[in-house]
Chains A and B, each alone.
Chain A
Amino acid sequence: MDKLDEILSKYKDTKGALIPILQEVQEGFGYLPKDVMVRIAKDLKIPVSRVYGVATFYAQFYLAPYGKYTIRVCRGTACHIQGAKKVLSAIKNITGLEEGETSQDLRFTLETVSCLGACALAPIMMINKDYFGKMTPQKAATILRRYREE
């Protein structure tokens, strides 16, 4: 909990610090554990329901541990018309995951995002901070194999 104290004291005098605090806590803890959210609420003197409301509204926050590799498949318009759905269903097939799920071994989390903003390379996916452009179902299989065997 030392880490949490450190984050909370850093934002002690910041107005509207809830979202930056949750972002830093998630970076430190990997997700937002329930007891930590309760502590944050207490410290900021706001209801737990508000912390929970924010944590569940925004796509960035996780209430449970997520995978070592987060696969983000872009569902932007350019990606959609260039076959993002086929790429997504191939990835679902390979990983056995549905959108928003994490594998039991905590290796992969599968997500879709509204747009990754690299539309010239559509369809596109991201694994953690790496981009993979002009995806096809086969390319996805090759790339995922690499992350699997690692």
Chain B
Amino acid sequence: MKGYRTNIMVCAGTNCISNKSWEVKEALEAEIAKRGLEDEILVVPTGCVGFCAVGPIIIVQPEGIFYQSVKVSDVSHLVEEHFLKGKLVKSLMYVPPGEKEPIPKMKDIVFFRDQRLIALRSRGMINPERIEEYIGLDGYKALAKALTSMTPEEVIEEVKASGLRGRGGAGFPTGLKWESRKKAKDYPKYVICNADEGDPGAFMDRSIIEADPHSVIEGMAIGAYAIGASYGYIYTRVEYPLAIKRMEWAIQQAREYGLLGENIFGTGFNFNMGIFKGAGAFVCGETTSLVTSIEGRAPEPRQRPPRTELWNKPTVINNVETWANVPAIILEGAEWFSQIGTETSKGTKVFSLAGKINNAGLIEVPMGITLREMVYKIGGGIPNEKKFKAVQTGGPSGGCIPESLLDLPVDYERLTEAGAMMGSGGMIVMDENTCMVDVAKYFLEFLRDESCGKCSSCREGISAMLEIVTNICQGKGREGDIEFLEELGAAVTDTSLCGLGQSAPNPVLSTIRYFRDEYEAHIQERRCPAGVCKELIQYSINPEICTGCLLCVKTCPNEAIVGEKKRPQTINLDKCIKCGVCFEVCKFKAVVIT
């Protein structure tokens, strides 16, 4: 293999690609060839680096120099300065908010400094489309170790001792799950990777597959060996075309290398796998529904126990991040893994930070870190100096955690006690401009659309709750609504079959628990404190600020703004549809919401 003095790692995760990182990669290659550097410098497309807010990202290795928001038009200058003259390009470096001096190296940037990578261990280091690079970083070594020097029982003991729990949200101990299927004496057995990442705000599973598909394949192969399975499915969302492409490619390469198929490592162990593309139904993330979907039916959940079984055969289903942790545990040992984290939650967790937060992106941190550290330190706080209001965790099954609980150490138990849940790890930060009643309404709409309709308590209960919350948002709330929502929520939780229904009331119940005053303001004063609920707000223009630039007049879709040029404008409230476009476009902040 050819040696290069420098590797330029270009992030080719979905966030960066949609910011044109692929064009940047091609421009870099062209520029490097033009300057005759192609034998010295290699451009490598990698998976998601995590700091999505400042993409497209490139990292120059081996020095670890971090460049952000790189555009095609920057490429020629960058190659000239950095790779010909050996000078760093300050204008493309990360500058911490409120500071002037840029930080050249990735490892010194706060966002990266406090992370601990296990599931994302190869992120930004390898080209996910080349198995050789994964192998170069000890890839498939854990599988070799398991197959050649451990019995299936020893593998299960190791995973049990590590304390690894399901990263999909419920947190069931992985080793115990494996052990119960190992005991079943019915063949063939199956392993499934749940990559039906449906929780809005969570994108870690997609990123792991896009950045490091072999870590999932290797984890599944180890799990299959442990329980005695011969076939595996990766159930992934059809909305993730890049992840599907990279996984297909990775499976093919693993087969070519004999890491999938017959007689792996000459041990007589046979294992193969394929991708099953989910056809767009949120409920498929629920394991019994997922299995029903693979069997070719509409995905209605089934009663559990007995167990979640594909074709009535013993089946282990784990989520992407859980599988990606397995090779590291086998290679480094349970003791190493169990030293990280809290008493009940071992290891690390990948979180996606999104919403009203400066450093939106993907992070992996030890269990037990506080929400405050995540939001303010790694996440860089709230944009525009707005006030923090809540962080929503766990998707539609989770809840909203208020400022008073920001010092909560994050693990499975603490989040559940707070009325939220770990879920798959989506963290949506909300600021003072977010209405919590509107958030509850949003989740109910989502769940109403995604309820499979099997249980009447979920189907009708969510609709009834939505009707009440919608009324509250429209200023038609009545005394007693809050109490009725609480009662209804408890009934839906108690009487629904699957996790979707049982947890559906959480967003409502947790917002009532922590933000009851906002509900009361809507009901008693017909007021939306955050200025979000359309029926309860009015737009107007402050004549003392308005310059009469007419930008709002031009963008108003309903010709509701009138006035002379260079004179303060006014909004005709009869015509205003409260779309908020004027508020968005006004450069002088003259449009006010009351």
Binding site for B on A (CB under 8 A): 15-20, 22-23, 50, 53-54, 57-61, 75-83, 86, 89-90, 93, 113-122, 124, 129-133, 136-138
Q: A77-B395, A119-B201, A120-B52 are in contact. Are A57 and B299 (CB under 8 A)?
A: yes
Q: How far is the CA of A117 from the CA of B298 in the complex (A)?
A: 24
The 3 closest A-B pairs by CB, nearest first: A120-B52, A59-B280, A131-B18
Q: How far is the CA of A115 from the CA of B199 in the complex (A)?
A: 7
| Closest-CB distance, B502 to chain A (whole angstroms) | 19
Assess the A90–B19 pair: CB atoms within 8 A. no
Q: How far is the CA of A46 from the CA of B282 in the complex (A)?
A: 25
Contacts of B281 in A (CB 8 A): 57-59
Q: How far is the CA of A137 from the CA of B557 in the complex (A)?
A: 10
Q: Can you list 20 A-B contacts (CB < 8 A)?
A: A19-B296, A58-B298, A59-B281, A60-B280, A77-B200, A80-B442, A89-B579, A90-B579, A115-B200, A115-B201, A115-B203, A117-B197, A118-B52, A119-B203, A120-B354, A121-B18, A124-B18, A131-B17, A133-B15, A138-B581
Contacts of A50 in B (CB 8 A): 297
Assess the B240–A117 pair: CB atoms within 8 A. yes
| Closest-CB distance, B284 to chain A (whole angstroms) | 9
Output the nearest chain B residue to A18 by Cβ-Cβ distance.
B296
Contacts of A93 in B (CB 8 A): 557
Contacts of A18 in B (CB 8 A): 296-297
Q: How far is the CA of A119 from the CA of B206 in the complex (A)?
A: 12
Assess the B557–A77 pair: CB atoms within 8 A. no
Does B170 interact with chain A (Cβ within 8 Å)? Answer: no
Assess the A119–B360 pair: CB atoms within 8 A. yes
Q: How far is the CA of A18 from the CA of B297 in the complex (A)?
A: 8
Assess the B18–A118 pair: CB atoms within 8 A. yes
Q: How far is the CA of A19 from the CA of B452 in the complex (A)?
A: 17
Q: How far is the CA of A81 from the CA of B428 in the complex (A)?
A: 9
Q: A117-B14, A129-B241 are in contact. Are A61 and B198 (CB under 8 A)?
A: no
Chain B stretch 40-73: residues in CB contact (< 8 A) with chain A: 52-53, 55
Q: How far is the CA of A90 from the CA of B558 in the complex (A)?
A: 11
Considering residues A18, A76, A116, which has the most beta carbons from chain B within 10 angstroms of its beta carbon?
A: A76
Assess the B298–A78 pair: CB atoms within 8 A. no
Output the nearest chain B residue to A26 by Cβ-Cβ distance.
B279
Assess the A78–B299 pair: CB atoms within 8 A. no
Output the nearest chain B residue to A56 by Cβ-Cβ distance.
B298
Q: A18-B296, A53-B298, A59-B280 are in contact. Are A117 and B206 (CB under 8 A)?
A: yes
| Closest-CB distance, A115 to chain B (whole angstroms) | 4
Assess the B354–A114 pair: CB atoms within 8 A. no
Q: How far is the CA of A15 from the CA of B291 in the complex (A)?
A: 13
Assess the A86–B298 pair: CB atoms within 8 A. no
Q: A76-B201, A132-B18 are in contact. Are A114 and B298 (CB under 8 A)?
A: no
Does B392 interact with chain A (Cβ within 8 Å)? Answer: yes
Interface string of B260-278 (1 = CB under 8 A from A): 0000000000000000111
Contacts of B450 in A (CB 8 A): 114
| Closest-CB distance, B237 to chain A (whole angstroms) | 8
Contacts of A17 in B (CB 8 A): 296
Output the nearest chain A residue to B352 by Cβ-Cβ distance.
A119
Q: How far is the CA of A93 from the CA of B426 in the complex (A)?
A: 32
Output the nearest chain B residue to A76 by Cβ-Cβ distance.
B200
Output the nearest chain A residue to B292 by Cβ-Cβ distance.
A16
Assess the B557–A75 pair: CB atoms within 8 A. no
Contacts of B241 in A (CB 8 A): 129
Assess the A78–B201 pair: CB atoms within 8 A. yes
Q: How far is the CA of A8 from the CA of B361 in the complex (A)?
A: 42
Output the nearest chain A residue to B452 by Cβ-Cβ distance.
A57
Q: How far is the CA of A132 from the CA of B371 in the complex (A)?
A: 30
Contacts of B282 in A (CB 8 A): 114
Contacts of A60 in B (CB 8 A): 238, 279-280
Output the nearest chain A residue to B284 by Cβ-Cβ distance.
A58
Q: How far is the CA of A78 from the CA of B446 in the complex (A)?
A: 13
Assess the A138–B579 pair: CB atoms within 8 A. no
Assess the B17–A90 pair: CB atoms within 8 A. no
Assess the B555–A138 pair: CB atoms within 8 A. yes
